[in-house]
Structure 1
Amino acid sequence: MLVEPLLAERTFTPYGPSHWVLMGLIVVGSVALAVLGHHWGRTAAARWFARGFALAMLAFLVPMLVYRHLPAQWDVEVSLPLHLCDLAWMTAVYALWTRSQWAYALTYYWGLTLTPQAMITPALDAPDFPHLDFIDFWAQHLVVVWAAAFLTWGMDMRPEWRDYWRSVAVTFAWGVVVLVFNESAGTNYGFLNSKPENPSLLDLMGGWPWYLGVEIVVGMAAWALVTWPWTRQRVQGMAKPC
């Protein structure tokens, strides 16, 4: 009887026990899904698993989205699905179901660079596990990383340079739209109008609006670095003598 009140009052603490457990789940889950997918290869089993994974994500995250829109939970500053992590899990669902190259590329770039950064320095002011806000936040991030790992190392999907530029354009367009919305609604989705209160990499990039420009440059460089090895391998493979 005394456990529930204690859990309800406990606030999430970065680098506390629950944070380290979840960081471990990122690695363990990603490796397990990559190995499982690699074992299946491009078989029907892998395709069915990918679709099952997509359905499981929908079954959990759509009710969470509805939960955020309930009158008791509604807050225009946090309830709308305008953070990049919201778009990331929706895109990951589509990529898993269809294996569409554009959806995969966005899942790859968002899931393996931006999402881990959000998990390392989480902007989460909420009760700790098992509160729904805690579960909602971490589930959104975990599944995107797992989906990216499964599609890349499990199903052998790879980004190309055209995917790089298309993903940069889509992310930039999202940023412009959300920046305008934030300005009109007084919100801060994507932390585009001000930095989060918790420590993050943005603290190293100067004040607003300069950190947005630095973020673009650093992000594009990081995405180029995670694209180059795959494209280099393909070029070397094509150059091998018969």
Structure 2
Amino acid sequence: MEKYFQQDGEASFVLFSLVHLITLAALLLSIVCIYLFRKTLRKERINLMVRVAIAAILILSEISLHVWLWRIKEWTIQYSLPFHLSSISVILSAAAILTRSFPLFEFTYFAGVGSALQAMITPDISAYTFPHFRYVHFFISHGGIVVANLFLVLVEKYRPTLQSLWRAFLYLNIYTLFVFILNDFIKGNYMYISAKPVNPSILDYLGPWPYYIFSLELIALMTFFILYLPFWLIKGRQK
């Protein structure tokens, strides 16, 4: 059991390996099940139980990461606070599904789902694979963001608007500015906006600092429009 929680995994993650594809398929299956049973999930008691369960899984996944980092003596104020976009999206997605908050949903659908999908397709967990804790945690937390927000879309019938997209983009930039100031104050690198990560990443192809930040802005905006596209098409078809 100890080997599943050690600092260095026994096997490295392989992109689009059988394990990776099965994990992505499991997430897709979860979403399909939410869609197929959406009417049942709208029943008051079942609805509350499922929303609380999803929120609890998200919060426990975040807590477990901090416990693990502390246990392997890797927790630091510069890198371990919940200020990365994935961590804040986990917390806000849990709050959104628990409270049915549409303003929170506007942010977590675009910023949370967008970043979570990209992270799961190209994960930055090169030293870990299933069944190591870090692998399991990574996909539960990121997959949980997607599940929570699509639950609000498919079951609660939430529909983001074009105004939602621009509000989410504005909030993301305000949050990025806050994190940039925080990074300078504590000498951290949350959201990798103060420096590129040490491990190879997509940022290596986006130019030097600070120019890659502007590339990330364009990628984020494009991702937001892709996430809005299904609702735009449905709206146009209804008209």
TM-score normalised per structure 1? 0.81
Q: Tell me if the contact between 1:158 and 1:230 (Cα under 8 Å) persists in the aligned partners.
A: yes
Residue number in structure 1 paired with 2:21: 20
Instruction: Give the AA of the match of 1:146.
Output: V
Q: Deviations over 1:178-235 (max 9, x none)?
A: 1222233332221212333444443332221111112112311331342244245346
1:23–1:197 distance in 2 versus 1, CA, 3 Å: farther
Distance in 2 between residues matched to 1:17 and 1:236, nearest whole Å:
38
Instruction: Give the AA of the match of 1:19.
Output: H
1:4–1:226 distance in 2 versus 1, CA, 3 Å: closer
Q: CA deviation at 1:76?
A: 3.2
Distance in 2 between residues matched to 1:116 and 1:230, nearest whole Å:
18
Distance in 1 between residues matched to 2:122 and 2:199, nearest whole Å:
8
Distance in 1 between residues matched to 2:145 and 2:158, nearest whole Å:
15
1:194–1:11 distance in 2 versus 1, CA, 3 Å: farther
Instruction: Give the AA of the match of 2:43.
Output: T
Does 67-76 or 165-174 show the bigger shift? Answer: 67-76
Residue number in structure 2 paired with 1:98: 99
Residue number in structure 1 paired with 2:219: 218
Q: Tell me if the contact between 1:50 and 1:97 (Cα under 8 Å) persists in the aligned partners.
A: yes
Query: Unaligned 5+ residue runs, structure 2?
Result: none
1:77–1:28 distance in 2 versus 1, CA, 3 Å: farther
Aligned residues with identical type, % of pairs: 23
- Secondary structure of 1:10's partner? coil
1:229–1:116 distance in 2 versus 1, CA, 3 Å: closer
**What is the correspondence of 1:106-185 to structure 2 with a 5 Å cutoff?**
106-185=107-186
The alignment covers a number of residue pairs equal to 235
Distance in 1 between residues matched to 2:226 and 2:133, nearest whole Å:
36
Q: Deviations over 1:51-73 (max 9, x none)?
A: 33223333443343344345834
Distance in 2 between residues matched to 1:70 and 1:7, nearest whole Å:
9
**What is the correspondence of 1:56-67 to structure 2 with a 5 Å cutoff?**
56-67=57-68
Query: Unaligned 5+ residue runs, structure 1?
Result: none
Q: Which structure has the larger Rg?
A: 1
1:204–1:73 distance in 2 versus 1, CA, 3 Å: closer
**What is the correspondence of 1:220-235 to structure 2 with a 5 Å cutoff?**
220-231=221-232, 233-234=234-235
Distance in 2 between residues matched to 1:160 and 1:186, nearest whole Å:
37
Distance in 2 between residues matched to 1:11 and 1:148, nearest whole Å:
32
Q: Tell me if the contact between 2:66 and 2:75 (Cα under 8 Å) persists in the aligned partners.
A: no
TM-score normalised per structure 2? 0.82
Q: CA deviation at 1:87?
A: 0.7
Q: Tell me if the contact between 1:194 and 1:208 (Cα under 8 Å) persists in the aligned partners.
A: yes
1:231–1:218 distance in 2 versus 1, CA, 3 Å: same
Q: Deviations over 1:108-141 (max 9, x none)?
A: 1134321111122222254433333333323221
Q: C-alpha root-mean-square deviation of aligned residues, in Å?
A: 2.9
Distance in 2 between residues matched to 1:233 and 1:155, nearest whole Å:
17
Q: CA deviation at 1:160?
A: 1.2
Distance in 2 between residues matched to 1:87 and 1:164, nearest whole Å:
18
